[in-house]
Chains A and B, each alone.
Chain A
Amino acid sequence: MPSQSDTPTGWRPRHGVYWLIIMPALAMLVLLYLVPLADVLVTSVTDPKPGLDNFLLLFTSTSVQKTLLTTLRIAALTTFVALLLGYVVAYAMRAANSSQQRLMLFCVLLPFWISVLVRSFAWIALLSSRGPVNAGLMAWGLIDEPLPLVRNETGVLIGMVHVMLPYAVLTLYANMRGIDVRLVAAARSLGASRFQAFRMVFLPLTRPGLIGAGTLVFILSLGFYVTPALLGGGKVLMIAEYVAVQINDTLRWGLGTMLATTLMLSVLAALWALSRVLDVKRLFGA
């Protein structure tokens, strides 16, 4: 390993010390994070009795299937819209001058750090039938009565895109920044029109970014709880909220942990697959 040969010799004999200082964090992670997750896994095949009965519900229970379908549909739609909007924003950021760029980056980062709860609440207020969006549309005479924008899938989608867009923009932007601008210039000088240069050179080069951003947004969307619960108003049940309902209201631990396990394994499998194409750690990099 190259990094090891860089290590000054004076540090070598103290290797044990490094594992000692890694320990507190590692112990916490194992005891307070990995053990609980393992417990969820175990419960899913032992409660109420050992076996894969809980997982059979994935194929037999209509309410489970309906929830899964809703989850997949909303996650897919969110991913599609976030990629589309995110691509345009990232493209514009790349083309903008540096002062514009800073303002744009600020606009992207700002919602990143405002609590999802606060943002969902703001969207409820904005989209409700007496809220400013409907009021504005009626004042302009575009509609006669309030549109149902919240407590349905539309509201969930708006809220989720809003939460996911920064992830898409930042991942795509990081990818686009790595593309040499001269490549597009070269394509133009060789006879490609603006559109041809974009389609044949720029777009293919952003494919890793699209794959990365798409996977990231999709798997984060799968596990979403707060936004769908609040903006769906209990009418749009995604998997995370469904799990919470099983535990808190009906105390069906077997079903709840089975769905949680399914959710976790899908997310980790997607991440693992993605890690074969790109450096996943960078996606989560601050």
Chain B
Amino acid sequence: MENIETGQLIKLTVNEQSKEIYVRNSETLLHTLREKLGLMGVKPGCYNGDCGSCTVLIDGIPINACHILSVEAVGYQIMTIEGLKDQTIPEEFIKNWAIQCGYCTPGFILNSYALVQNNPDADDAAIDEWLESNICRCTGYQEIKESVKNILNVKR
């Protein structure tokens, strides 16, 4: 390797735990979370920030893990589906049949969780604005929307 620093030892805070790992600078958080930390709930779908399957929360904000470098995530609270303690949303997804193949589910659940946390008064337009970030290829989306609406209604 040439005499330049193209990788480094970093500390990431993932699901409230501090993790020390060596990463390449050009490594995406998607790769690091899956391959180095074994967090397989982060699902690759497009590697291009287009589908929302690998959504994780960075300081509570949904971010596509394929569209952020691991070195960028230093200093933030990273949450993956494995770190979601509040089971309200997963339970509502189950109740509403919002899961079929399950591949888009972690991304949808984390995005929905962030929506409910950040915008408990979300109206239909806000729900649309948030959920259109994620592609589901199985359900037709209605069940997912209903899940989110039910939770918002209970919160209100």
B and A form one assembly: no
| B interface, CB within 8 angstroms of A | none
